[in-house]
Chains A and B, each alone.
Chain A
Amino acid sequence: MSRVLWLDDLEPHDATARVGPKLGRLAELSAVGVEVPRGFAVTASACAEHEGAAGLTDVLAAALGRLDGTPAPLEVSALARDLHAHYLSCPVEPAVAAEVEAAYRELVAQVRDDVVAVRSSALGEDAREASFAGVFDSYLGLRGATDVVAAVRECWASRFSARALTYQLRRPWAAAQWMPMAVGVLELLPAYSSGVAFSAHPTTGARDRIVVEGTFGWGEAVVQGLVTPDRAELDAQDGRLLRYGVADKAVLSTLAPGGAGMVAVPMPGARRSEAVLDPGTLRAVGDVVRTIDQFYGHPVDVEWVVTQGPPRRCVVVQARPVTIAGPVPLPVWDPVDAAMRYAFGATRSPDGWVR
């Protein structure tokens, strides 16, 4: 079993099965011409190899046994604390570490930059029935092989945080095994701007409206809720800009000195209220979101980065299906329907109008 798989080498048809949906989708999208970051996956079997060599397999199996039934939240958090600390105390199996370090060096040579993102990609994560968005760790802005290997271990260990444990216990197959996890080591693109885009309206569910949110630099400050992004709405049919809200973007995410991740710094004054989503960005993001929506055949949300140029490139760093409550009826003018709904507060039921 390979310890490392390059995204370029993955076949779309089994990528998700091999490296989890988060990385697998990048391979799928790459195959349909969407630009994604370069990088490799440290496989779930490398993780298993490390756990076996470090004597973690038995410890984890025993812990799983203790979680049988419906453990109390306090019990879960105590166990999580112990497991997580123990996991991080075990050095990474040298054969695995060596292969990750070698792959990292090759990535640095390819992209001519030594800053990377390390992202968890649990197998089964992001499945439509159980979204684990944000449960497992990701690290942005790492530099150097040692830090990368350490971050990979952190990602593996993030399965044993109290929150991750709770999530995993909800899965129907929870009792059988711990969630296998692959970890992506991807180039960190020099971001001019970044953000999220929805191929359907995230609150109304309308399928004819694309929503794009973005800020200058990397999107960390947005993810952490430190800054409100600009927001644009586009017509999904023709890409026309329908609405634009410029936010006061007080904070900028930037690389910490020495490759120690991301830090938030004050946004340079002139940029705070400058519109970040220019027509070129909106066209590129809108196109890519529509492509992905059509490829999967259901609404998606997409994390995107527009690189510093020239030329500026629009790169998708993550895409996942979004769950929409139900088919949203297309707006149609029907005087009776409108009057009943808005003048008389009635709704149509199978048995006729009700209030």
Chain B
Amino acid sequence: MRVRAVRLLPTFCLTEPLASWTTALPPWCYRRQGAERGCRVDIVVPLGALVDTPWYPQSQGALGRSKAAVEPFDTFRPEDESRLWFLDFHWPRGLTPLATLWNEDGYAWGTQLAAERMPLPSGRGIAQRMAGTHTYASPIPLPEGTDFTGRAAAFERSLPRWLDGFPASWQRHRAELDAGWDRLQRRDLRALDRAGLLDALNEARAYHRRAFEIHFEVMYPLLATYLGFSGMCRQLGVPAAEVGRLLQGYDTPIMETDRQLWSLTDRARAAGLAPVFAATEVADLAATLDAAGGPATTWMTDFRDVLRTYGWRTEGSADVALPSWVEDPTPPLGLIKSFIAQPRHDFEAAHHAAVADREAAVDSARSRLTRRETAAFDAGLAAVRRANFMWWQDDHNVVIDLRVALPIRWVALEVARQVGADQEDDTVFLFWHELVDLLAGARRYADLRPRIAARREYFDRWHARRPEMPKVLGTVPDRVDDPILVEVFGLTEHYLDAARSGGDPEQVQTLTGVPVGRGVARGKVRVLTDADHLHLLQPGEVLVCESTSPNWTPAFATIAACVCDGGGTLSHAAIVGREYGVPTVTACAIATTVLSDGDLVEVDGDRGTVRRLARTAKAS
């Protein structure tokens, strides 16, 4: 197939408003009908000034220190323009210098190592580049001349054995992760001197890195198996939207946490605390309840007990800059504040409905298959239920993504305390090697202080730019064949089309995405850029966001519908939307750009559309 590339004029330049990045491209340059027969039209979204944009102040030498399996983590280089880069929705806040440990250990080590070891027939894992504080990701293709057949043959040998061993191997991995966690959590950091803290830091880092080895070693084969099953279903005529339903309704620890929060809500109501919750700002809740005495104090004791088990989670994936609920209970208190103001979410009913819906989907699929087809379908279903990607998505988040960065954070914060830092989290604005140097006595906090301040300013500046970051950069094809990018990241043809053309709030009335949570609902829009503002959600609102991650789960008990810019059928929002029976549409690409707080929308989770019925007065 011939590829004709259309290069757009560079629009990115730091002196221009960033909004110009996403201005609509003229239709002629990306519409498929404009393509010659048999010719794919790639659009090049120029990297422009991103290549020369200074990275974090005094970040020289920060990159390339950590071992990558295939391709190290980096900032953008001119030659990157020949590849497709998509804005990774997992880190909508942006990453602080220390938080880029994720890029090093997760993507540049975990994904690449797993892809090479398995080996993954299709590629070599995920590469990433930073644009300011924001992560762009790109699949690493096999180099020209790779022996695909040999790689596939190795995969063919490894997958069946791996699948047979999955339930047991995941239990072993979980036990290993729990043991590491317990060891790190038990350590009394305050009792350690600098040398002891350095050991603790290295140990926490090793745990972090190991967790991501496990993460991707498990994720790829699970995903490949799910995609195989889903492909077979498609071949058998089972609609794609039904495949997810076949695997829903299996309980996970994330849902268990949600139940605990509702149970705490019940107890708060019973203790007569509803008025306190109603009258108190979220940020003041902990102090107010602690100071109130009587039943409030008893309730806070209960609350903290629950957090000791369920509170080791952050408001985002694998980000050392984020506190856990134990450290900062504002998020769970905010959730309870919103829960207490509405009727109780009936978890049992929702769970039974999800299970009943699953069984109905299975029956419906079988009823449309011949007996021979049913035998193949049943065998595939049994395999993917035993190695259930949907279930694992939530299960692994509890033991990996939501807590894996905490031990590093604890050491970093203890270092900050011991060196008398200005702010308790100053150290998350250091790069890893700087933190190590600080502990080793090779650098002094006083010398690092100016760069910390400059980096805070840099982080805030880029944080504000997040809504304007282009969803895709570089060479954007009109379709992506890699099913991982399609099913997990939601890079459908429609997404790419919308992402390339941008969205004018005045023009766009209907958004199209991937239908993942069934049903139709109307409500007022609440656009959230990150989980910090989850407590602002009012019951019955439509959550509009880049994507959700496990910490967003409790919100699904209160919202009418969910709309995401990114994510495919296997994304977190898709899975939770199904479990909670919330109409959900993902991969709309431009929902957060086009919709505003207060817009009235209708979300059709069966057809994958979001229709704006009325614009908020403020915007119009």
A41 to B234, CA, bound (A): 48
Assess the B155–A235 pair: CB atoms within 8 A: no
- B residues 369-414 near A (Cβ < 8 Å) are 369-373, 376-377, 379-380, 383
A341 to B156, CA, bound (A): 12
Within 8 Å of chain A (Cβ to Cβ): is B64? no
CB distance from A315 to the nearest CB of B (A): 27
Mask, A340-355, CB within 8 Å of B = 1, is: 1111111000011111
Contact of B371 among A237, A345, A351 (CB under 8 A): A237
Decide: A333 near B370, CB < 8 A? Known: A346-B148, A353-B149, A353-B153.
no
A335 to B226, CA, bound (A): 9
Assess the B156–A340 pair: CB atoms within 8 A: yes
A331 to B379, CA, bound (A): 11
Within 8 Å of chain B (Cβ to Cβ): is A106? no
A330 to B376, CA, bound (A): 9
Q: How many pairs, one residue from A and one from B, have CB atoms within 8 Å of each other in the complex?
A: 107
A355 CB contacts on chain B under 8 angstroms: 148
Contact of A335 among B160, B223, B371 (CB under 8 A): B160
A240 to B377, CA, bound (A): 17
Contact of A353 among B156, B231, B235, B371 (CB under 8 A): B156
Residue of A nearest to B376 (CB): A331
Contact of A331 among B148, B155, B372 (CB under 8 A): B372
Assess the A345–B481 pair: CB atoms within 8 A: yes
A352 CB contacts on chain B under 8 angstroms: 149-150, 152-153
Assess the B121–A353 pair: CB atoms within 8 A: yes
Decide: A342 near B232, CB < 8 A? Known: A336-B159, A336-B160, A352-B149.
yes
Decide: A344 near B121, CB < 8 A? Known: A335-B159, A339-B225, A354-B149.
yes
Within 8 Å of chain A (Cβ to Cβ): is B227? yes
Assess the B153–A209 pair: CB atoms within 8 A: no
Mask, A177-214, CB within 8 Å of B = 1, is: 00000000000000000000000000000101100000
CB distance from B238 to the nearest CB of A (A): 11
Decide: A333 near B379, CB < 8 A? Known: A242-B370, A342-B230.
yes
Decide: A235 near B371, CB < 8 A? Known: A340-B156, A342-B232, A354-B149.
yes
Assess the A354–B148 pair: CB atoms within 8 A: yes
Assess the A344–B224 pair: CB atoms within 8 A: yes
Most buried by B among A208, A235, A243, A336: A336
Within 8 Å of chain B (Cβ to Cβ): is A236? yes
CB distance from A312 to the nearest CB of B (A): 27
Residue of A nearest to B237 (CB): A243
Within 8 Å of chain A (Cβ to Cβ): is B171? no
Decide: A344 near B235, CB < 8 A? Known: A352-B152, A352-B153.
no
How many of chain A's residues touch chain B, expressed as a range?
Answer: 20 to 34
A330 to B377, CA, bound (A): 12
Assess the B159–A331 pair: CB atoms within 8 A: no
Assess the A333–B372 pair: CB atoms within 8 A: no
Mask, B454-492, CB within 8 Å of A = 1, is: 000000000000000000000000000101100000000
A128 to B565, CA, bound (A): 54
CB distance from B487 to the nearest CB of A (A): 9
Mask, B150-184, CB within 8 Å of A = 1, is: 10110110011001000000000000000000000
- A residues 307-342 near B (Cβ < 8 Å) are 330-333, 335-342
A353 to B156, CA, bound (A): 10
- B residues 135-149 near A (Cβ < 8 Å) are 148-149
Decide: A343 near B481, CB < 8 A? Known: A333-B383, A354-B149.
no
Residue of A nearest to B368 (CB): A242
Within 8 Å of chain A (Cβ to Cβ): is B53? no
A158 to B178, CA, bound (A): 83
A209 CB contacts on chain B under 8 angstroms: 370
A339 to B150, CA, bound (A): 16
A338 CB contacts on chain B under 8 angstroms: 225, 228-229, 231-232, 380
B148 CB contacts on chain A under 8 angstroms: 346, 353-355
Residue of B nearest to A354 (CB): B149
Within 8 Å of chain A (Cβ to Cβ): is B341? no
Decide: A242 near B372, CB < 8 A? Known: A339-B228, A341-B228, A353-B156.
no
Within 8 Å of chain A (Cβ to Cβ): is B122? yes
CB distance from A339 to the nearest CB of B (A): 4
Decide: A242 near B224, CB < 8 A? Known: A343-B483, A354-B148.
no
B230 CB contacts on chain A under 8 angstroms: 342
Residue of B nearest to A353 (CB): B152
A339 to B383, CA, bound (A): 12
Residue of B nearest to A207 (CB): B372
Assess the B232–A238 pair: CB atoms within 8 A: no
Residue of B nearest to A208 (CB): B370
CB distance from A79 to the nearest CB of B (A): 36
Most buried by B among A209, A331, A335, A355: A335
Residue of B nearest to A346 (CB): B152
- A residues 95-132 near B (Cβ < 8 Å) are none
B163 CB contacts on chain A under 8 angstroms: 335
Assess the B225–A330 pair: CB atoms within 8 A: no
A342 to B371, CA, bound (A): 23
Within 8 Å of chain A (Cβ to Cβ): is B367? yes
A330 to B372, CA, bound (A): 7
Assess the B228–A343 pair: CB atoms within 8 A: yes
Assess the B367–A339 pair: CB atoms within 8 A: no
B379 CB contacts on chain A under 8 angstroms: 332-333
Within 8 Å of chain A (Cβ to Cβ): is B25? no
Within 8 Å of chain A (Cβ to Cβ): is B421? no
A340 CB contacts on chain B under 8 angstroms: 121, 152, 155-156, 228
A335 to B161, CA, bound (A): 11
Contact of B156 among A206, A333, A336, A345 (CB under 8 A): A336
A343 to B236, CA, bound (A): 16
A331 to B232, CA, bound (A): 8
A206 CB contacts on chain B under 8 angstroms: 370
A selection of 13 A-B contacts at a CB cut-off of 8 Å is A243-B368, A333-B376, A335-B228, A335-B380, A338-B380, A339-B159, A339-B225, A340-B121, A340-B152, A351-B149, A352-B152, A353-B153, A355-B148
Give residues in A with beta carbon < 8 Å to B: 206, 208-209, 235-238, 240, 242-243, 330-333, 335-346, 351-355
Q: A330-B376, A343-B484, A354-B148 are in contact. List 10 more A-B contacts (CB 8 A).
A: A333-B377, A338-B232, A338-B380, A342-B228, A342-B232, A343-B228, A344-B121, A344-B152, A345-B483, A346-B148
The 3 closest A-B pairs by CB, nearest first: A342-B231, A338-B228, A353-B152
